[in-house]
Structure 1
Amino acid sequence: MSQPGEQDKALARQSRLVGIVIAATMLLWLGAQWAGPRLGLEARYVFLFDLAALAAFFWALVVTYQIWRKRRDNEG
């Protein structure tokens, strides 16, 4: 079995980063949804958390698509 190349290692690092961003975003968003009403935050601040979570998920989607394309191009 051959050793993974530098590009494979870079794609693996990028994949781990995407996974961490998705998990952290979900936890932070859930925490904000739980804490918002308890802290008496206005709805506009809660929507700000929603928009930040959507931006993070969109970034993760774009990077995941880029990883998929790079791996597909490397295979053949």
Structure 2
Amino acid sequence: MKGTDPQDHARVMQARTAAIVVAATMVLWIGANFAGREMGLPVRYVFLFDFAALAAFFWALVVGIRLWLSRQSKE
């Protein structure tokens, strides 16, 4: 990214981090639900996996909105 604004590079890195968090959360969430079902975990532990996934998705949503707003204010 030669000759670009350092803030643009920071935005790209934030967007990439948010995308990795969403992808990793999906894989871990599906894996945790499968493992919980196979191991016979109580439902309250499975809900912990769900709430952790919701927190990660909410974080990624907030980061995405902040990136979108910063891009809108730049234009």
Whether TM exceeds 0.5 here: the answer is yes
2:64 is paired with a residue whose SS is: helix
The alpha-carbon deviation at position 4 of structure 1 amounts to 1.6
Matches within 5 A, 1:1-76: 3-75=3-75
> TM-score normalized by structure 2?
0.94
Amino acid at match of 2:36: G
Note the C-alpha offset of 1:8.
0.2
Percentage identity across aligned positions? 55
Over the residues paired in the alignment, what is the CA RMSD in angstroms?
1.1
Q: In the TM superposition, what is the alpha-carbon distance from 1:3 to its structure 2 partner?
A: 2.4
**Other structure's SS at 1:41 match:** coil
Between the aligned partners of 1:51 and 1:5, the Cα distance in structure 2 is 37
Shift of 1:56: 0.4
How many aligned residue pairs are there?
74
Unaligned runs of 5+ in 1: none
Partner Cα distance (1:59, 1:41) in 2: 27
